[in-house]
Amino acid sequence: MKSWRHQPLPRGWYKTRLRILKRDGYRCTHIRYDTNTRCPESANQVDHIDPNGGEADSNLTSLCPYHHKQKSSSEGGRGVHKPAPPTKPHPGVIR
């Protein structure tokens, strides 16, 4: 699966990713709302809990592809992005 990320991966990401997957037992950490139990699927992806929370291990979690996609979709592109600069008003707009 190709990533559409616009920013390069942080230095040492592959080692960090393996460390987090190992820490979480290579299992998805998503907690199901209906049963309050952990997802039983294998994890092969590492995601930021808080998109703007940095690269600390405490801000990273292992997810299965389904829950990673679900989480990313629910964020609606609100990941780590710089806000757009203010635009100049249209010349025809009277203030």
| pLDDT tens sequence across 6-53 | 678 888 999 999 999 999 999 999 998 889 999 999 999 999 999 888
Residues in the chain: 95
Asked whether residue 1 carries a pLDDT value surpassing 50, the answer given is no
- With beta carbons less than 8 A apart as the criterion, state whether 40 and 27 touch: yes
Paired residues of 38 in beta bridges: 31
**pLDDT at residue 52, as a whole number:** 85
Residue 74: pLDDT band (50, 70, 90) is: confident
**Alpha-carbon span 68 to 22, nearest angstrom:** 17
Instruction: Determine the pLDDT at residue 7.
Output: 73
pLDDT for position 75: 78
Residue with tokens 């950490």: 29
Mean pLDDT in residue range 68-84: 70
What single DSSP character describes residue 42? B
Query: Is residue 90 over pLDDT 70?
Result: no
Whether the CA torsion 16, 42, 45, 32 is positive or negative: it is negative
Tokens of residue 52, six digits: 């703007």
